[in-house]
Amino acid sequence: MSSVDAQLLDSLERAFERHAGAGDHIDVTKLQQALGLRSEYLARRVLRNFDRGGDGLIDREEFLHGVRGLLLGSDRDKLMFAFRLHDEDGDGFIGQLELLRMIAISLAEDEVQTRASQPPERLAHMLLAMADKNLDGKLSFEEFEAAVRANPQLLAQMTRSEALWIAPNEDLLARLDRAPLGRAVELLRRLDNQRWELAFLVLFVLANAAIFAAALLGERGGQAASPWMQLGRACGACLNLDGALILLPVMRRVLTFLRSTPLARVIPVDEALGFHRLVGHSMLGFGLAHGLAFVVSYASGHASAPITRLFLHTQRGASGLLLLLVLSTMWVFALSPIRRSRRFELFYFSHLLYAVWFVLALVHAPSFLLWAALPLLGWALESFWRARRRARKSTILTAQALRSGVTRLELERPPEFAQRAGDYSFLRIPAIARHEWHPFTISSAPENATLHVHVRSLGNWTAALRRLVERREADASVEPLAVQIDGPHGAPSTHIFESRYAVLIGAGIGVTPFASVLESVVRRANLLHEQPSALQKIHFFWLNRDQYSFEWFAALLAELETLDDRNLLDVHMCMTGGRGGATAAGLEVARGVLHAVVQRDIVTGLKTLTHMGHPDWAVVLAGIAAQHAPEAVDVYFCGPQGLARKLQRICARLHMRFREERF
């Protein structure tokens, strides 16, 4: 048995035990839960396929045999599994009624509201008309096989989703699919992708090391100091450097300006916040070491004086202790679990202590001014500009509570608002909270007269916005709603214009940066006949759990589909909550047939056919890379971290550059 086989068996055994619980079998209720199915009928059909003994239960051996077959069986085995699911009476044919029932149940399972012009009856009828070659009014296995094989995506996915639901182990599946690269090769490719980030990191470490060594080895005023004192001074010298650097990566105006210059290709502006965090960690480390070294040095030089004297009776000691307290407080409240929790204010307000830190640092060591003067001046200018910008008043022109918890706002564009596609802005709506500014991507193109933002209800502020908009809708209120807009600020998506071939992947609300980019590119290329950038082709993927979320930008995408004569855009919609495997095989084929005839998808109403389930990213991205080889293809992503890591790994393998926008 190979190691992959052993792992598979082990994983399946565990999956069986999890589903079977105390009993030694899986009944229809447990299977329904395992598959996450609403319909008991569908669960019964799947159970029937596993249940070789015919006792209405799946025992361990039947389970292992069935799931193994789903994962590793031949295409024909998998097709047979799907065929038997649909063939309810087991007569070796799928009749019109069987097909209709399966299609209706699959649609209900995915909560897809069919369009009036495309009811399940029409889907079943069209599939039969296309696939029933001998015109006997039913589908034989051969006819069903031919219809499915005409849809390679579906065939590739066939039964995989059922297997994954029953025995979830994506890593194992990835291993079965293809031999992975060695870890070392994968790491090297990733480093190659991030060479400028790496260069900056090395430069930062070397600069600290050089300053540390120079301070450690140097002597002050010809006096020899104790080794502890020297160590403390060396750490202090590094604190000078890091204290001067910490503000640079959070100067949004400077970063936005840098993005518009060729320097953005070399300076890793997208990683500015990561660099800020790194410098923060380094400052805490050097701060603690600096304090400890001086305490030890003091204790060994003043054996008779208590240590409290250092902190209470010397300015250096007292300010040093306060500096450490302030820095540690900021550091603790900036940790990811707090920042990403629902207590963002804790992070936000504790970080305002930065001003106290700089004052104390100058009291503690006035020579720090030599290091920090320029960054402090830059920061003061930034703050001045920000205050001026934040004072500008604007109005919310329209507000709409869309389905799936998203609120759409249309804002009056402030004067001199020089937006680039993909930019974001901070918004303050005094009617919701007087002191809170929240960042949102501008989802409309710069060419639009007004600004649009789409806000997903997540926590206090965004939920309060939704309630406010719902109240106004209920009262039919037309009273103007005041808003202040601080921006625009640059974001990673602005790099898209440097790529020739780009893949944009937005998950859920993560589509907002790409919406404005797509609109801008297609409008300029097709209406104004401008070549706005080097872009030759965009492959756009939008993943949503349910049908309603597609409504946010369906109108925009429909317009872009009709505008795009130059075929710049390739749109792929994926409904990840939908079933794309064997249980939905009939529906999938029928959707494909209907789409070929009426050119409209039943999920979104767009020309693009919606794909059910998650795409097989390794296959999809490899296909796009091959299509444009030897040219480079860049991948841009905005969405959850888990998917980001997965895509990053695949991109490293395929030599594709990966850029991520984090909300």
Ligand X SMILES: Cc1cc2nc3c(=O)[nH]c(=O)nc-3n(C[C@H](O)[C@H](O)[C@H](O)COP(=O)(O)OP(=O)(O)OC[C@H]3O[C@@H](n4cnc5c(N)ncnc54)[C@H](O)[C@@H]3O)c2cc1C
The residues that touch ligand X, with contacts defined as CB under 6 A, are 339-342, 344, 424, 437-441, 454-456, 458-462, 491, 509, 512, 663
H-helix or E-strand spanning residue 378: helix 368-390
CA 118 to chain centre: 33
Three-state SS at 26: strand
* Residue closer to ligand X (CB basis): 383 or 460: 460
Take residue 544 and report the two structure tokens written for it.
């949503």
User: What minimum distance in Å lies between the beta carbon of 313 and ligand X?
Assistant: 42
Give residues with Cβ within 8 angstroms of 327, minimum separation 6.
Answer: 283, 284, 287, 357
Give residues with Cβ within 8 angstroms of 562, minimum separation 6.
Answer: none
If phi > 0 it is left, if psi is from -120 to 50 it is alpha, else beta; for residue 392 that is beta
CA 372 to chain centre: 36
φ, ψ for residue 547, nearest 5 deg? -65, -35
* Residue closer to ligand X (CB basis): 157 or 484: 484
DSSP 8-state class, residue 570: E
User: What minimum distance in Å lies between the beta carbon of 488 and ligand X?
Assistant: 11
Three-state SS at 449: coil
User: What minimum distance in Å lies between the beta carbon of 37 and ligand X?
Assistant: 31
User: What minimum distance in Å lies between the beta carbon of 427 and ligand X?
Assistant: 9
User: What minimum distance in Å lies between the beta carbon of 258 and ligand X?
Assistant: 16
Q: Name the CA radius of gyration of the chain, rounded.
A: 30
* Residue closer to ligand X (CB basis): 314 or 341: 341
d(CA 423, CA 278): 25
User: What minimum distance in Å lies between the beta carbon of 336 and ligand X?
Assistant: 9
Cα–Cα distances in angstroms (integers) from residue 145 to residues 73, 83, 476, in the given order: 15, 8, 55
Residue located via tokens 């202040």: 484
User: What minimum distance in Å lies between the beta carbon of 124 and ligand X?
Assistant: 39
Counting Cα atoms < 13 Å in the Cβ hemisphere of 527 gives: 12
Nearest in space to 93 (alpha carbons), one of 131, 37, 38: 131
Take residue 583 and report the two structure tokens written for it.
């249980």
* Residue closer to ligand X (CB basis): 323 or 515: 515
Q: Which residue is nearest to ligand X (CB)?
A: 459
Asked if 238 and 259 count as a contact pair (C-beta separation under 8 A), the reply is no
Take residue 598 and report the two structure tokens written for it.
């009426």
User: What minimum distance in Å lies between the beta carbon of 274 and ligand X?
Assistant: 13
User: What minimum distance in Å lies between the beta carbon of 663 and ligand X?
Assistant: 4
Three-state SS at 576: coil
> Could you tell me the end-to-end alpha-carbon distance of the chain, in angstroms, rounded to an integer?
45
* Residue closer to ligand X (CB basis): 508 or 592: 508
Residue located via tokens 């979320």: 549
User: What minimum distance in Å lies between the beta carbon of 57 and ligand X?
Assistant: 45
* Residue closer to ligand X (CB basis): 64 or 469: 469
Nearest in space to 601 (alpha carbons), one of 553, 547, 522: 547
DSSP 8-state class, residue 223: B
Asked if 537 and 570 count as a contact pair (C-beta separation under 8 A), the reply is yes
* Residue closer to ligand X (CB basis): 239 or 399: 399
* Residue closer to ligand X (CB basis): 468 or 656: 468
User: What minimum distance in Å lies between the beta carbon of 633 and ligand X?
Assistant: 25
User: What minimum distance in Å lies between the beta carbon of 398 and ligand X?
Assistant: 17
* Residue closer to ligand X (CB basis): 243 or 446: 446
Take residue 357 and report the two structure tokens written for it.
């830190």
Beta bridge partners of 575: 544, 612
User: What minimum distance in Å lies between the beta carbon of 487 and ligand X?
Assistant: 10
User: Would you say how long the chain is, in residues?
Assistant: 663
> Side by side, which strands form the sheet with 481-489?
438-441, 424-428, 481-489, 394-401, 406-411, 451-456
* Residue closer to ligand X (CB basis): 130 or 409: 409
* Residue closer to ligand X (CB basis): 438 or 611: 438
User: What minimum distance in Å lies between the beta carbon of 512 and ligand X?
Assistant: 4
H-helix or E-strand spanning residue 321: helix 315-333
Report whether the peptide linkage leading into residue 513 is cis, meaning its omega lies within 30 degrees of zero. no
* Residue closer to ligand X (CB basis): 388 or 435: 435
Take residue 350 and report the two structure tokens written for it.
């504790």
* Residue closer to ligand X (CB basis): 365 or 427: 427
* Residue closer to ligand X (CB basis): 116 or 352: 352
Take residue 180 and report the two structure tokens written for it.
């992975």
Give residues with Cβ within 8 angstroms of 475, minimum separation 6.
Answer: none
* Residue closer to ligand X (CB basis): 80 or 455: 455
d(CA 592, CA 601): 9
User: What minimum distance in Å lies between the beta carbon of 340 and ligand X?
Assistant: 4
Beta bridge partners of 140: 93
